[in-house]
Amino acid sequence: MKKLKVAVIGVGFWGKNHVRVFRELPETDLVAVCDRDIERAEEVAKKYEVEAYRDSQDVLKREDIEAASICTWTTTHAMEAMKALTAGKHILVEKPLANTVENAKRIVESAINENLHLMVGFIERFNPGVQKAKEILETGKIGELVSASGKRVSQWPERIGDVGVVKDYAIHEIDIVRSIFEADPIAVYAQAGKLKHQKYEDYVQMMLTFKKTKTAFIEANWLTPYKIRDLTLVGSKGTMSLNYLTQGITLETEKETLKPRRRWEEPLKLELQHFARSILKDKPPEVSGVDGLKALTIAEAALESSSLGCVVKLNLDKQISD
C-alpha cells in the first residue's frame, strides 16, 4: 500500500500528538518535523527518527513530502498554510483555520486554485460518540431535533496565547452544531468577557438561531477548575446526552433510558487517518476549508454580538463569498 509522506509543522503540545499518530498510522510515513524552537524539534525528531527543521520553507522544499499538518500558533496559520500550498502540499490546519476571516478566505481560495486538499482540525467530528449520536438522530428515536447545548469548560490551557476562548474552545461546538443540524445558523447572540485573562475573553455564552426557530446554546470558558465536554440534544420525542471524553451516550425517551455502547477510539487517530485517506483516494475531506471558514465567521460574529450587545444576523454563503 502506498504511504503518504507527511511532515508536522509546529511540535508543541498538540503537534507532538500529530507526530505520534502519523507514525502509528499504516497510511502515513512521517519524514520530518519543524518548529521554531529547534531544540524541541530535534528532541521530537530523535524520538521518532525523522529529520528536524527550524524553518518550514526548508521542509516544504522537499519534493518527497506530499502533505503537512500545521500545528503552530493561530496567528501564524495563514502564513504557514500559504507557504505549504504554494509549495504544492496538501494541508491539515488545526482549528481555527486562521486568526481572522480574511486570512481564512486566502487559505481556502489558494487551496482551490492550487487543487490541493485542505482540511481543518475539528477533531470532534471524528469522535465516535458524535458519530453514534448522529446515527441515532437519523433513526428518529428522539424525534425531530429542536435544540442542542454544548458545554466546553476547563482551566486555561497555558499553550494558548494568541486567541480567546471563542476561537479556541467554542469554535468546536460551533462546528458540531452546524454538522448536527446540517445547516448554517441565521443569527447569533453572545455574551463574553475577561475575568482572569485581560488580553482575550475567557468565558462566553452563545445562542445560535437556525431556521424553523431551532436553537443551539454554547457555553465555553477557561475558568472552571475541572474539565467538562458535553453535548445535549433535545428532540420532539426525547433527549440524548453525550460525554465527548468518555464517548458515552445516554438516550432518554418516554418509555426508556438507554446507554448505547460503542468501542472507544482516539478521535485524533481517526481524524488524521481520514485526512491521509482523502488524499490517497483523491476524495474531498469530511471537514473542508469552507467548514473552517464558516465556523470562524460565526465566531467573529459572536464576538461582535458581545461587543455591541445585540443579535448579529448571519448569511454565511453570502458572507464568505464577498
Q: Is 95 exposed, middle or buried (0-12, 13-18, 19+ CB in 10 A)?
A: buried
Neighbours of 233 (CB within 10 A): 26
> What is the rounded CA–CA span in Å between residue 76 and residue 73?
6
One DSSP character per residue, 31-85 reads EEEE-SSHHHHHHHHHHHT-EEES-HHHHHT-TT--EEEE-S-GGGHHHHHHHHH
What are the Cα distances from residue 211, in Å, to 81, 184, 205? Answer: 34, 9, 20
Reduced to 3 states, what is the DSSP secondary structure of residue 219? Answer: strand
Name every residue whose Cβ is closer than 8 Å to that of residue 53 and which is 6 or more positions away in sequence: 32, 33, 34, 41, 59
Topology of domain 124-263+298-321 in CATH is Dihydrodipicolinate Reductase; domain 2 (3.30.360)
One-letter amino acid for residue 283 of the chain: K
For CATH 3.40.50.720, the residue range(s) in the chain are 4-123+269-287
CB-CB contact of 188 with 314 (8 Å): yes
Q: Is 265 exposed, middle or buried (0-12, 13-18, 19+ CB in 10 A)?
A: middle
CA 163 to mean position of chain CA atoms: 14
pLDDT of 251: 97
Q: Profile the chain (322 residues) by mean pLDDT over runs of 10 residues.
A: 95 96 98 97 98 98 98 96 98 97 97 98 98 96 97 83 93 98 98 92 97 95 96 98 98 94 94 98 97 98 98 93 80
CATH superfamily of 4-123+269-287: NAD(P)-binding Rossmann-like Domain (3.40.50.720)
Reduced to 3 states, what is the DSSP secondary structure of residue 258? Answer: strand
Q: What are the phi and psi torsion angles at 277 (to 5°)?
A: -65, -35
Q: Give the strand order in the sheet containing 228-235.
A: 257-258, 249-253, 238-243, 228-235, 145-153, 215-221, 203-209, 187-193, 312-313
What are the Cα distances from residue 40, in Å, to 61, 142, 189, 218, 262? Answer: 21, 49, 42, 36, 37
For CATH 3.30.360.10, the residue range(s) in the chain are 124-263+298-321
Strands 90-94 and 67-70: parallel
pLDDT of 157: 74
pLDDT of 238: 98
User: DSSP assignment, residue 167?
Assistant: I
pLDDT of 159: 63
